[in-house]
Amino acid sequence: MVMALDEIKVLDLSRLAPGPYCSMLLADFGADVTLVEAVPGTSSKLGSSATRSSESAERAAAFNALGRGKKSIALNLKDPAAREIFYRMAESADVVLEGFRPGVVQRLGVDYETLSKINPRIIYCSLSGFGQTGPYSNLVGHDINYISVGGALGVTGRPGTPPAIPINLVADFAGGGMHAALAICMAIIARERTGRGQNIDISMSDGVLSLMTSAFTGFFANNQVIKPGEYLLNGGVPWYNTYECSDGRWFSIGSIEPHFYEALCRVLGTEEFLDKQFDQSIYSDMQEKWAGIFKTKTADEWMEIMSRYDICAAPVLEMDRVVTDPHNVAREMVVEVDSPVGKVKQIGIGAKLSETPGQVRSTSPIVGQHTDDVLKSLGYDDAKIGELRSSGAVG
């Protein structure tokens, strides 16, 4: 099967979720991704304690969807012999991805300037919290900090309550990993015209702010500041909100357009609100009345009713219901993958390409699982590989 990124070779130096998610997206569409991991035990920060012989490591790898479709070589990049191996790998690589704090790759000698001299076609993507420049560039952080600086956390929640902290989707995975994958694909296309690679600087806080583009249009136009729970799209109106049902579950309503709003009022039996969609003076009464109505039926019962009419509505699915939801199943968003510990379930491929579809080709490797294979492909014989392993340069 032809895949969109066939023959694109990626060397992935990243460790935490945003980088592996980026390279997972590339691997799902055919990229040849090799994880360049620390030799187990050589670094408390950069490596994994997993070993090839560990049964628990095999099980963890099987369920680690972020590592799927990849190979793994373990290199101690502080060792000159290991760096030489990496340089030889970089000679034929298309992409290098790293997620260290600014300055680390320079100290290790695997930065863009060094590698671009070895391979001018190399595309080098640095993925960090605050980017390679600016006053925050050397600060440590996590998703919660990046969405704070990028503006997303400040608009999330209910009035008078602390900000609602989402799971680490916005900065780590959307603003970081997905943003990086998009940038890498754009650089690959650009290289077809220029013949040269380039350096990509991905900041997760930049990515979050980019996702806030639409939200900031009102601010730039008329100084409108979006406050938690007071804006149309963050819970400030009854007809774009969530309601608790009789079974304790929640149901979401998104009836923004007038015809959707009208259908909602009629289904709920509140025709007195038909011409009052934008009358803020009655929102508290509307919210209270609808809250009482939604508590008369279960979430599934409401979905069955709402689906008969043209209403933007859906139950708020808990994780166990997400993976059995008939729509998600029909869209192949839950897949079974063969692994050394048997079949395991993972989330499927989001983007559906008709001619070059993505595919989950294998589960995550154990750290260093392909070290020997990669070294042999570079011309190292068994004796030399043994020497390198004994010295701790590889694992």
The full DSSP string for 343-371 is -EEEE--SS--SSS-------PPPTTTTH
What average pLDDT does the segment 322-328 reach?
A: 97
Q: What angle do CA 209, 139, 23 make, to 5 degrees?
A: 60
Q: What pLDDT shows up at residue 42?
A: 73
Give 109's DSSP letter. Answer: T
Per-residue pLDDT tens for 114-155? 999 999 999 999 999 999 999 999 999 999 999 999 999 999
pLDDT higher than 80, residue 44: no
Is the pLDDT at 296 greater than 70? The verdict is: yes
Q: What single-letter DSSP state applies at residue 79?
A: S
In angstroms, the Cα distances linking 233 to 261, 344, 374 are: 15, 37, 50
Q: Classify residue 68 by its DSSP letter.
A: T
Q: How many residues does the chain have?
A: 395
User: pLDDT value at position 252?
Assistant: 98
pLDDT tens digit string along 177-201? Answer: 999 999 999 999 999 999 999 999 9
Q: Is 259 marked active-site?
A: no
Band (pLDDT 50/70/90 cuts) for residue 52 is low
What is the four-CA torsion angle of 244, 241, 309, 292, rounded to 10 degrees? 40
Q: Is the pLDDT of residue 46 over 80?
A: no
User: What is the mean pLDDT of the segment spanning 286-309?
Assistant: 97
The confidence band for 242, taking pLDDT boundaries of 50, 70 and 90, is very high
Give pLDDT, residue 48.
44
Contacts of 29 (CB under 8 A, 6+ apart): 3, 4, 5, 351, 353, 356, 358
From 142, 300, 325, 372, active-site residue = 142
Active site residue 285: no
Instruction: Answer yes or no: is pLDDT of 37 > 60.
Output: yes
Task: Examine the pLDDT at 49 and tell me if it is beyond 50.
Answer: no
d(CA 95, CA 245): 49
pLDDT of res. 47: 44
Average pLDDT over residues 88-107: 98
Given pLDDT bands bounded at 50, 70 and 90, which one contains residue 43?
low
Tell me the angle at which helices 204-211 and 179-194 cross, rounded to the nearest 10 degrees: 100
- Catalytic residue (one of 32, 172, 179, 206): 172
Query: Which domains are assigned to the chain?
Result: 9-211+332-391 (3.40.50.10540), 232-244+250-315 (3.30.1540.10)
User: For all residues of the chain together, what is the average pLDDT?
Assistant: 96
Q: What is the pLDDT of residues 283-293, one digit of tens each?
A: 999 999 999 99
Choice among 45-59, 74-88, 316-330 with the minimum mean pLDDT: 45-59
Give the tens place of pLDDT for each residue, 332-343: 999 999 999 999
Task: Give the pLDDT confidence score for residue 55 in this predicted structure.
Answer: 80
Burial 30-54 (b: 16+ CB within 10 A, else e): bbbbbbbbbbbebeeebbbebebee
What is this structure's pTM? 0.95
Consecutive H or E run containing 72 = strand 70-74
